[in-house]
Structure 1
């Protein structure tokens, strides 16, 4: 019997309700371009810590979960600070992603590196290794451009972002969630598999 989930699986931190309220306000700022954009549902907003793979077995998820439980005393709650709303990553010629940037603290970098290390040590064949920690940009995806962004659309998105007036938002993350993602024509469908508190 195949015990693979048959969908993309990732490890993520999820924001609290107060952060989601602020996120709702940010998303509403883009209403005049709503026809050109596709935003995630609020309950899908997250910060990916590691993409585990496209076809991860239930056994591998159990092994990783047990390994994280064993090391939970080495993991501490993370204060996640959301700073600027951004359109595209640095150096991208054709941006598509609208996201909330996460302050890259030493604590978050260490936390991420430790989690990646615990998973890598298991040497599971169906798990994607995290290759370059330095290039990992912590962020919370808000939405995407439905098609390629024209110059006028890109200009409008950047103008909207400049006009967003919101204080920095922060929340405390105390658990890691294993999530499976199935891509559909209307966007991803998420399913929570399990959580590890720390």
Structure 2
């Protein structure tokens, strides 16, 4: 009789403990595998200079950029500046203005390699932005001017307050966050 009463008291206690441990493990595992692990709380602002040579023509882009990690796996990327195409004599052939906000959704591709797929979901182009797709394709990611395009980037956290964003060809942006106490 005493063994039955002890079992009746201990069984719910043991089952409750097992359920609590299972819930804790599930919560910890869910937090570690959440696709929203890019939740940096600060935006990053900086300057970018891109230069390339295509068919004896040189192209440059000098721009100011800002990006911010938003909620729910979204990123805002703002870019404003100019793109210039030069001939072989280094004379300006074409000069265009860039001013747009691009909203991305991102997905974790590989945690080990720090790779993420960014898909442009909305591109807000300001009235002064007059860059065409030909010139844009020489200096910008496709997802900055083609809605719904995907680009894969590497986002590597180097220190507590520094991240490097790169593509498969070169670094794109180094961001250093300053903590305000």
- The higher relative CO (CA closer than 8 Å, separation ≥ 6) is in 1
Larger Rg: 1 or 2? 2
User: Which structure has more strand as a fraction of its residues?
Assistant: 2
TM-score > 0.5 by shorter chain: no
Per the shorter chain, which TM-score range?
Answer: under 0.3
Q: TM-score, normalised by structure 1?
A: 0.22
Q: TM-score, normalised by structure 2?
A: 0.23
User: Which structure has more helix as a fraction of its residues?
Assistant: 1
